[in-house]
Structure 1
Amino acid sequence: MKCAWLVLLLGSLLLPCVSHALDPPKPESSAKSAPGTPAAPRELGWEDLLPESERFAPPLNSQRVRPLFDDESGPAAEQEGSAQVNAKLDGLTIRLPGFVVPLGVDKEYRVSEFLLVPYFGACLHVPPPPPNQIVYVKMAQPMRLQSMYEPVWVVGKLSTQRVSSQLAEAAYSIAGVRTEKYEEP
């Protein structure tokens, strides 16, 4: 009888150790996160910001006044669009490439608020892109502005909150966590 209790006692003590050795816990870095969470931001393209009704719509003939300068007459400057958003993206942590249009720069060339736009010169030339192709970004920590000519990735939480600035109206905003140098895949 003493032997049976001893085997039972040893078994109950050793079983968790043997089980743990056969199936060790995975480190946090190897755990898969759902796209759109802080651990794995969902990578978006500018077309993803359009609501489905605008993604495949034929382009409209522009009713806007034509730009005065040749460099403002390309297809990007003639965009028609809306302030309609893709509501499915609201609240996701995303990664979006674009160009920085600062809304203010401090003495150390750092920016904490800016517009992220899909092409260089947007919002600096007239007309700006449609609101659903402009994203207002408020960084948690100011970032050093290297160049307005170089695109960046912005990582942060996307919101369908509209923001107006002196340059343009944005249909989206991002609570920016970080920026990364843009490199083509």
Structure 2
Amino acid sequence: MFFNAIAVVCADASGYEATEEDFVRWENTWDSLIPPGAYDFVPKDFYFELLFNPTFQSQLDEAGRVINPLLEGKSIEIAGFMVPIEVREENVLKFLLVPEAGQCIHVPPPPLNQTLFVDTTTAPTPLRDLYQPIIIWGRLSVGTQSFEIADSGYSLAASKIITLNLEEDMIPVVPGADGDR
């Protein structure tokens, strides 16, 4: 999830305004879900054709199933996208949080170590557009769960969820795609 953070304002009454540093911190939180060394097999001189190598693909799949046990019980703040699993009227009771918009609505789903299960049954959260980013504060639990659309490697007991409203001049930035950024 890369953004050119010009200005971001949350939809709730808190007036929370995200900075470029917030986006870096959230990206680092997603990275911390992957145990150190999980992708050490990827060569520094990676080339596109390698993706078609069955052995390499198998290694990628296996690395995506490795979760970080050191995160058990840790409090985190993370931004991502909601993929509803259970909805009642206009409220989401259970959902998956993924790092990029549109994941889980296509195949393959994101790796297990990049998917968080969030149960808001006791305090349902409003249904949002799948492309609307949210920020969640909460405590992590490590452990896999399987759902029809994807598996998760973590559960997050959310203490607070707010919506990020990206202003129209927020442009997703793809590293290396534009030398001026």
Fold shared per TM-score above 0.5: yes
Q: Structure 2: give runs of 5+ residues left out of the alignment.
A: 1-24, 55-59, 167-181
Query: 1:58 aligned to 2:47?
Result: no
Q: 1:64/1:163 Cα in 2 relative to 1: closer, same or farther (>3 Å)?
A: farther
- CA shift, 1:64, in A, is 8.7
Alignment check: 8 A CA contact 1:99 1:148 kept: yes
Identity %: 33
Match of residue 8 from structure 1:
none
Among 95, 104, 122, the residue aligned to 2:86: 104
- CA shift, 1:175, in A, is 1.3
Q: 1:87/1:143 Cα in 2 relative to 1: closer, same or farther (>3 Å)?
A: same
Please tell me the residue identity of whatever aligns with 1:127.
Answer: P
- CA shift, 1:176, in A, is 1.5
Cα offsets for 1:106-161 (capped at 9, x unmatched)? 11x10021000010111110101110011111124100113221110111110112
Give the match's secondary structure for 2:119.
strand
Greater helix proportion = 1
**Largest Rg, 1 or 2:** 1
Matches of 1:123 and 1:147, distance apart in 2: 14
Q: Structure 1: give runs of 5+ residues left out of the alignment.
A: 1-41, 66-78
Alignment check: 8 A CA contact 1:96 1:153 kept: yes
Match of residue 113 from structure 1:
94
- CA shift, 1:182, in A, is 3.0
Greater strand proportion = 2
Runs of 4+ in 1 over 6 A off after TM superposition: none
Match of residue 29 from structure 2:
45
Matches of 1:158 and 1:57, distance apart in 2: 27
TM-score, normalised relative to structure 2: 0.63
Q: Structure with the greater relative contact order (CA < 8 A, sep ≥ 6): 1 or 2?
A: 2
Alignment check: 8 A CA contact 1:47 1:55 kept: no
Query: 1:154 aligned to 2:143?
Result: no
Note the aligned Cα RMSD (angstroms). 2.6
Q: How many residues matched?
A: 129
